[in-house]
Amino acid sequence: MGQFDLIMLGPPGAGKGTQAANVVSDYGVPHISTGDMLRDAVKNQTPMGMEAKRYMEAGDLVPDSVVIGIVKDRLQQPDTAKGFLLDGFPRTIPQAEALDAALGGIGRSVGKVVAILVDEEALVARLTGRRICRTCQAPFHVSFNPPKTVDVCDRCGGELYQRADDSEATVRNRLEVYRAQTEPLIEYYDKQGVVARVDGDQSPDKVYAEIKAAIGPAA
């Protein structure tokens, strides 16, 4: 059983990336964000990036076969030996089944699924005001979590930008895709008894306190 084999689940804008930064620094596990990996592939114009681009721009999911492949490869890296934090994966039942099979093959299983819950109107405001660091991908918000200097990353000094898929029209589609394809994963993992539901509609510090209590003390 992988106590620190962790998944961050929740709708777009729930605060997965924000909270992942806290978890990886306290628990020393690598942050595996499929969104970050895919955006990197798009930027570098790799064959996978060229295929993924149109889905991402529309706010649709990239095909399971593509995403499952990149996560399986990433989980082979030695830094995942003591655990990992998946952010943005799995997003469909077939992805969750593929992850269970891959972990089962090495005698591990999902330790905890942190489900961050936030209601829909709050999500639209969070996503349309989000800014991301071009260098380290840290998320900020123009009103809810502004950087100290406009458009400059507090963490690394990188330039902040607005993701093309954080426009209101695309956001609505992403929320629908979440409800149809990803939300059922909460029930899937409930059957394994590993879900911790966290109220994401509080200050980031309070959200993190709940997450820490759910994961337990660091090793």
The catalytic residues are 16, 91, 130, 163, 174
Helix (H, G, I), strand (E, B) or coil at 46: coil
CA separation, residue 178 to residues 51, 79, 92 (Å): 21, 29, 9
Helix, coil or strand: residue 132: strand
Distance of closest approach, residue 56 Cβ to ligand ADP, in angstroms: 4
User: Residue 202 CB, nearest distance to ligand ADP (Å)?
Assistant: 6
For residues 83 and 145, which CB has a smaller minimum distance to ligand ADP in the complex?
145
CA dist., res. 18 & res. 204, Å (int): 8
Task: Examine residue 204 and tell whether it contacts ligand ADP (CB under 6 A).
Answer: yes
Candidate residues 130, 195, 198, 210; the one interacting with ligand ADP per rule CB under 6 A: 130
- Residue 88 lies near ligand ADP (rule: CB under 6 A): yes
Can you tell me the distance from the alpha carbon of 109 to that of 120, in angstroms, rounded to the nearest whole number? 31
Q: What are the distances in angstroms from CA 128 to CA 11, 30, 36, 148, 205?
A: 14, 28, 18, 19, 22
**Tokens encoding 44:** 């570098």
Q: Which residues contact 150 (CB under 8 A, 6 or more apart)?
A: none
10 binds, among Zn ion, ligand ADP, none (CB under 5 to 8 A by kind): ligand ADP
Examine residue 189 and tell whether it contacts ligand ADP (CB under 6 A).
no
Q: What is the residue whose two structure tokens read 């076969």? A: 65
111 touches which of ligand ADP, Zn ion, none (CB within 5 to 8 A by kind)? none
Contact between 2 and ligand ADP per CB under 6 A: no
Nearer to ligand ADP (CB atom), residue 93 or residue 194: 93
Which residue lies nearer to ligand ADP by CB, 1 or 110? 110
Residue ranges that bind Zn ion, judged by CB under 5 A: 133, 135-136, 138, 153, 155-156, 158
Our CB check for Zn ion shows the closer of 92 and 137 to be 137
For ligand ADP, the binding residues in 160-179 under the rule CB under 6 A are 165, 174
Of these partners, ligand ADP, Zn ion, none, which one is at the site of residue 153 (CB under 5 to 8 Å by kind)?
Zn ion
> Is residue 208 a contact residue for ligand ADP (CB under 6 A)?
no
3-state secondary structure of 110: coil
Measuring CA to CA, which residue among 141, 145, 121, 137 is closest to residue 129? 141
Binder of residue 155, out of Zn ion, ligand ADP, none (CB less than 5 to 8 A by kind): Zn ion
Q: Phi first, then psi: what are they for 141, rounded to 5°?
A: -140, 135
